[in-house]
Structure 1
């Protein structure tokens, strides 16, 4: 699990049985960034949502495919992060897509240098993303 800021952590998809432990650890919401076609039926977004809600967690499913991350995906992530109580646990296959979409959703809300530093601390140094974050920030 990688904390990108005090309200958002990204990680590989947890087992459905660990969602209650996330709630006990202080998380209040879960965002699923993993498309259902990547997982077995018992780990699909609907199953994860049911388990999350049973554990008292908020939940949103925003499937992020490997490329491209679309403006609609970024908008959905931004809305979910604003609506759900934090801290938020977001997951995909390895945590990478959840981290990237977090970064894009933060454009114009946090300084670009802070976003890039958070990604680097999480092990995702992506200097090529800086220009896209700046472009998104300018548009907000």
Structure 2
């Protein structure tokens, strides 16, 4: 697994598998959020498979699927609510972790500077510099 912290509440990761749940719980996570739509890739486990394994391991689970490049305000609001409501810390994942990081940055736009959000993402290994205009517009 490749877990990258974004803040004290949320970390991002590329695709995880059901068999990763014991290690995720062992790393101290209490919840998992899938940001990947089902059927996006041929070898991708379904959200239901991930959820079953998460719950079996004692982890809370939520599915907030988004399409990269098409993230709307409703997606951001739903992600914010889910992360707020779930036990912390939360591990969010998608194919590469970039969508989770994008949702995290967009939910904090207006609260933190665009440069700060981009720098945190970069330190975690994600380039979201293309979001700068959208992050700046949220002031």
Q: Report if TM-score (shorter chain) is over 0.5.
A: yes
**Which of residues 117, 130, 133 in structure 2 aligns to 1:131?**
133
C-alpha distance after superposition, 1:76-134 (max 9, x if no partner) = 10101110111111110111111111111122343433322111102223333122123
Cα distance in structure 2, aligned partners of 1:109 and 1:87: 20
Q: Which residue of 2 aligns with 1:81?
A: 83
Alignment partner of 1:128: what SS?
helix
TM-score normalised per structure 1: 0.88
Q: Which residue of 2 aligns with 1:101?
A: 103
Q: Which residue of 2 aligns with 1:119?
A: 121
Q: Which residue of 2 aligns with 1:5?
A: 7
Instruction: Show structure 2 runs of 5+ residues with no match.
Output: none
Shift in alpha-carbon separation, 1:83–1:109, aligned structure 2, 3 A:
farther
1:4 Cα offset (Å) = 0.9
Cα distance in structure 2, aligned partners of 1:41 and 1:93: 11
More helix by share: 1
The CA RMSD measured in Å over matched residues stands at 1.8
Cα distance in structure 2, aligned partners of 1:93 and 1:21: 19
Cα distance in structure 2, aligned partners of 1:24 and 1:125: 28
Instruction: Show structure 1 runs of 5+ residues with no match.
Output: none
How many residues align structurally?
137
1:42 Cα offset (Å) = 7.5
Alignment check: 8 A CA contact 2:18 2:53 kept: yes
